[in-house]
Structure 1
Amino acid sequence: MLNDLKILDTTLRDGEQTPGVLITSNEKLRIASKLDELGVDVIEAGSAITSKDEQKSIKTITENKLNAEICSFARPMKIDIDTALDCDVDSIHLVIPSSDLHIDYKLRKTREQVEEMAVNATEYAKSHGLIVELSTEDATRTGMDDLKHLYNQCIEVGADRLCACDTVGILTPERSYEFYKELAQLPQPLSVHCHNDFGLAVANTLAALNAGAQQAHVTINGLGERAGNASCEELVMAIESLYNIKTGIKTELFYEISQLVERISGVTLQSNKAIVGSNAFAHESGIHADGVLKKSETYEPIKPETVGHRRRFILGKHVGKHVIHEKIKETNTQVTDDELNRIFERVKSLSDMGKTVTDVDLQAITDDILNIDMEDSLVLQEYTTVSGNKVTPTASVKVNINNSERIEAGVGVGPVDAAIEAIRKTIKDTADITLEEYHVDAITGGTDALIDVLVKLKYNDKVITARSTEPDIIMASVEAYLKGVNKILTDEKRR
């Protein structure tokens, strides 16, 4: 594996092709700016020919003079290249179908015709000052001789980089190594572009890099068509941690950019997603948690701070006393061994009933065992909300914070969002609290179902969880949020 590895991020092109994902011009700029800060070498900003809005998005990115090379996807057609030129990109990702399957059934052309298109498009793009990365679609189902012939023809007219795409993710790591090793003998730098249909995109990309490929195509969170593309964060951390090779990527930004892409794309990450999932550094088992508390390396391959993440201990059925004791101590509360045992039994009892024990639940149990009567710091006195198809969802609240009455209003994409925004405004001078996660479940059937809302709130470097169960989703959301806020404010009082 080469030490001068290049990263091409295609979150804004291949990632946006994830079913149901649409990223606006301003959102693309936010992601591109963060990718540039992350340190990727090339940002594939989209496909300029797609639409006027896509052209505007790409042009907005190129106008911001980022450090990364800005690239547009293009077919081997003059109109695609001209449109990319109008967006002032540095390069094009010129994609040519190469397998008999694609040439015969999709293009309905001869191989000679396709090769002529590729050569003409490469020559035209180079004559207009563009960097050309020639990419063969469905390369892994293309004969090696046919691939090399196409590449060599385009190299002769100036292709700068070559890319072989495992378009439907059929490689295995062993086959990937042999495939890319053969192509790495060509005179121009080789890129690897893997899809994750069998869950092997990152493994196949690593094998290709070990075989001589010099650039990897990736997306944040592994976004992409069908099962997605090779995940940027997984690939980079494997190279840095398992191969001990520095990539130049600012890995401490991974969690932040992952969260940004998740919010903008609307594609929720699975909790056990490697590196950036909510459970990537979460521990419930008593044995594991005890080991991590003593020395993190016992059950963590890397420190969460390396990727901008944080460690969490879950209060579930497998939790041990040491974790509960640590969480109680975080609030500057002291308990005896007997009190800790009683708290532990109450937590286990709740867990055995299938309930998620939140930080607020633990606080309530602890206060009850210790006979502490701590008044809520924030009390909701009045609440109204207005919502409708022709009305911007609006909420107004009157709250009492430490005997001081405050009234605020908020707007949002829905009544829940508006209500939480109104409450957030009332406490902005007291505590800067961020809603990190919001989860809703219906726990009974029918239109009168009980709604269970779980929220995660962040304050400074600490994340706390709270929940509420009500028949009304708005009130359940407001109550869960208030419980979380009060937990944070109460902890501050105790400190």
Structure 2
Amino acid sequence: MKVRIFDTTLRDGEQTPGISLSPDQKLAIARKLDALGVDAIEAGFPVISDGELQAVKMISSEGLSCEIAGLARTNKKDIDAAVNGGLNYIHTFIATSDIHLEHKLKMTRDQALEKAIEAVEYGKSRGLQVEFSAEDATRTDRDFLKKIFGEVAKAGADRIDIPDTVGYSTPEYIAEITKDAIEATHLPVSVHCHNDFGLAVANALSGIHVGAQCAHVTINGIGERAGNASLEEFSMALQCLPYEQKYETNIKSELIYDTSRYVSKIVGIQVQPNKAIVGDNAFGHESGIHTHGVLNNPLTYEPISPELVGRKRWLQVGKHAGIHGMNAMLEEYGIKPSEDQSKQILDKVKILGDQGKQITDVELLSIASDILGEKGIKRIVQLTGFSVSTGIGTMPYAFVKLNIDGKDLIETDFGVGPVDAALNAIQKITGKISELRIKDYGLASISGGSTALCEVTISVEDAQGNSVSAKSVGEDIVTTSVQAVIDGINRIMLKKMLNEKQLS
């Protein structure tokens, strides 16, 4: 069975507190969603502002391969705004639960029914495809819900949507009212589930299992309050879980992680580390038992291959670490300690872990270097020249000269500050030889006074999603930042070089 993916990141997702997107940002995300393979994009709520109308016009005229819809209340003004936005598809809604009718709309059930029918008929008279939603459907009287769905179907609605507006439903109840809607309308039915009790994806899947053909979802599950059903969890559950019936979507799963990161960056909301599929820890392992199993056969502790969603697995050492996982991490940097040296390294790792410290690859390499008597890992990149200039009324400017495998490369760039300018110049150089980007940057003061030391921690990532961290301590923030970035670049390039040797 083919399941339709209706993405509402740009409408319901934007209703997340703290998110406000410009028309250009909306268009950029719409392009990403279209490339991902969604079947429909809810581009926005055209009537609410001039900027929203502009965004809808830009998206509807972009020539995307998916359908473009706009939200409209059950009135002519909203529907006309959708038409003015260049849309031929509306998602119109009215609340149907008694609590909404009494306290929000001040309407009777019959009045709400009349408004719903009028909106569908008017939308069809304007030549639109009409999807009708009974807002707060899961708290609506079940007989009235069946009645309103049946009547809008007679009025010409093309699709019916069941919104679990406050995430109040259970999978069992969603299944029951989905069957009601199918029986009452004989139309394609969608489910729109919110995550207030953490059941959005489970509820959406339940609706699909009894005959719904579509789910409304958002990237990273963003949305009002606790959010919406997340596209990545819903689509991968359909694709990978052992259901009796085989489900398919048009989602290009290998683009999921990239799309998730892109949306996260634009909307300014970081994905929680333990988020399924796209969280930083979704394919990360520390426990010695787990890492040993994963190294022998990844399926021992991973339900799917990370590459399926554009990810890479990663290992971390800590007090739960085992020798196999630790040695696998060291081998990524070309370090192969003896059995006795491995035990010494692991003992130090566990001591730090018992002290509550996070042990990144930075600390691990430092410990290994101490025990192996080495000064450090091989350096591919050398910083051979560096200067920054800044002042009042001028934009900070940086000059950087790197030697990479014996070849000198020079770049200059501007930035909002001297650190930003220096990092921009470095990224210009690395972009010529490898697609590297600075994923995270952290600055902390570790001593006080006029000669205070600062600690810079960065994370560098390549185009394949491999990432490494690096840390540097010094008196000057800019110089310390540059040194940390160079260390990170060395580590990720060494990793890449060793991987290429193994493949060749």
Is TM > 0.5 for Structure 1 vs Structure 2? Answer: yes
Which residue of 242, 246, 249 corresponds with 1:247? 249
User: What residue identity is the alignment partner of 1:27?
Assistant: Q
Pairwise CA distance, 1:145: 2.0
Structure 1 residues 66 and 384, CA gap change in structure 2 (3 angstroms): same
Structure 1 window deviating more from structure 2 (485-494 vs 191-200): it is 485-494
Structure 1 window deviating more from structure 2 (339-348 vs 7-16): it is 339-348
Secondary structure of 1:60 counterpart: helix
- In structure 1, the residue matched to 2:175 is 177
- For 1:444 and 1:272, the matched residues in 2 are separated by 33
- In structure 2, the residue matched to 1:432 is 435
Structure 1 window deviating more from structure 2 (90-99 vs 365-374): it is 365-374
What residue ranges of structure 2 are gaps of 5+ in the alignment?
Answer: none
What residue ranges of structure 1 are gaps of 5+ in the alignment?
Answer: none
1:378 aligns with 2:378: no
- For 1:173 and 1:445, the matched residues in 2 are separated by 56
Matched-pair identity in %: 44
Superposition map of 1:451-470 within 5 A: 453-459=456-462, 461=464, 462-468=466-472
Secondary structure of 2:70 counterpart: strand
Pairwise CA distance, 1:452: 5.2
Superposition map of 1:209-228 within 5 A: 209-228=208-227
Question: Given that residues 92 and 132 in structure 1 are in contact (C-alpha distance below 8 angstroms), is that contact kept between their aligned partners in structure 2?
Answer: yes
**Could you give the per-residue CA deviations for residues 325-364 of structure 1, whole angstroms, max 9, x where no partner exists?**
1122223333322222233233333333333323233333
- For 1:338 and 1:205, the matched residues in 2 are separated by 53
- In structure 2, the residue matched to 1:350 is 352
- For 2:235 and 2:398, the matched residues in 1 are separated by 46
Pairwise CA distance, 1:254: 0.8
Pairwise CA distance, 1:251: 1.2
Secondary structure of 1:54 counterpart: helix
Structure 1 residues 196 and 493, CA gap change in structure 2 (3 angstroms): closer
**Could you give the per-residue CA deviations for residues 40-78 of structure 1, whole angstroms, max 9, x where no partner exists?**
211101111122211221111121211211000011121
- For 1:77 and 1:256, the matched residues in 2 are separated by 38
Structure 1 residues 190 and 427, CA gap change in structure 2 (3 angstroms): closer
**Could you give the per-residue CA deviations for residues 446-481 of structure 1, whole angstroms, max 9, x where no partner exists?**
999976543221235432122345687656544432
Structure 1 window deviating more from structure 2 (465-474 vs 356-365): it is 465-474
- In structure 2, the residue matched to 1:146 is 144
- For 1:449 and 1:232, the matched residues in 2 are separated by 46
1:18 aligns with 2:16: yes
Question: Given that residues 387 and 415 in structure 1 are in contact (C-alpha distance below 8 angstroms), is that contact kept between their aligned partners in structure 2?
Answer: no
1:48 aligns with 2:52: no
Question: Given that residues 221 and 232 in structure 1 are in contact (C-alpha distance below 8 angstroms), is that contact kept between their aligned partners in structure 2?
Answer: yes
- In structure 2, the residue matched to 1:238 is 237
Structure 1 residues 330 and 460, CA gap change in structure 2 (3 angstroms): farther
- For 2:51 and 2:99, the matched residues in 1 are separated by 32
Structure 1 residues 400 and 150, CA gap change in structure 2 (3 angstroms): closer
User: What residue identity is the alignment partner of 1:66?
Assistant: L
- RMSD of Structure 2 on Structure 1 (CA): 2.8
Question: Given that residues 398 and 418 in structure 2 are in contact (C-alpha distance below 8 angstroms), is that contact kept between their aligned partners in structure 1?
Answer: no
Structure 1 residues 380 and 106, CA gap change in structure 2 (3 angstroms): farther
Which residue of 419, 429, 434 corresponds with 2:422? 419
- The TM-score, its normalising length taken from structure 1, stands at 0.91
Question: Given that residues 397 and 413 in structure 2 are in contact (C-alpha distance below 8 angstroms), is that contact kept between their aligned partners in structure 1?
Answer: yes
Pairwise CA distance, 1:414: 5.1
- In structure 2, the residue matched to 1:35 is 33
1:113 aligns with 2:115: no
Structure 1 window deviating more from structure 2 (18-27 vs 345-354): it is 345-354
1:401 aligns with 2:400: no
Superposition map of 1:72-83 within 5 A: 72-83=70-81
User: What residue identity is the alignment partner of 2:289?
Assistant: I
Pairwise CA distance, 1:204: 1.1
Pairwise CA distance, 1:441: 6.2
User: What residue identity is the alignment partner of 1:482?
Assistant: I
Superposition map of 1:330-345 within 5 A: 330-345=332-347
- In structure 2, the residue matched to 1:268 is 270
Structure 1 residues 492 and 84, CA gap change in structure 2 (3 angstroms): closer
- In structure 2, the residue matched to 1:316 is 318
Pairwise CA distance, 1:220: 0.7
Question: Given that residues 48 and 58 in structure 1 are in contact (C-alpha distance below 8 angstroms), is that contact kept between their aligned partners in structure 2?
Answer: yes
Pairwise CA distance, 1:82: 1.2
1:483 aligns with 2:487: yes
- The TM-score, its normalising length taken from structure 2, stands at 0.89
- For 2:91 and 2:417, the matched residues in 1 are separated by 40
Structure 1 window deviating more from structure 2 (368-377 vs 316-325): it is 368-377
Aligned positions, number: 491
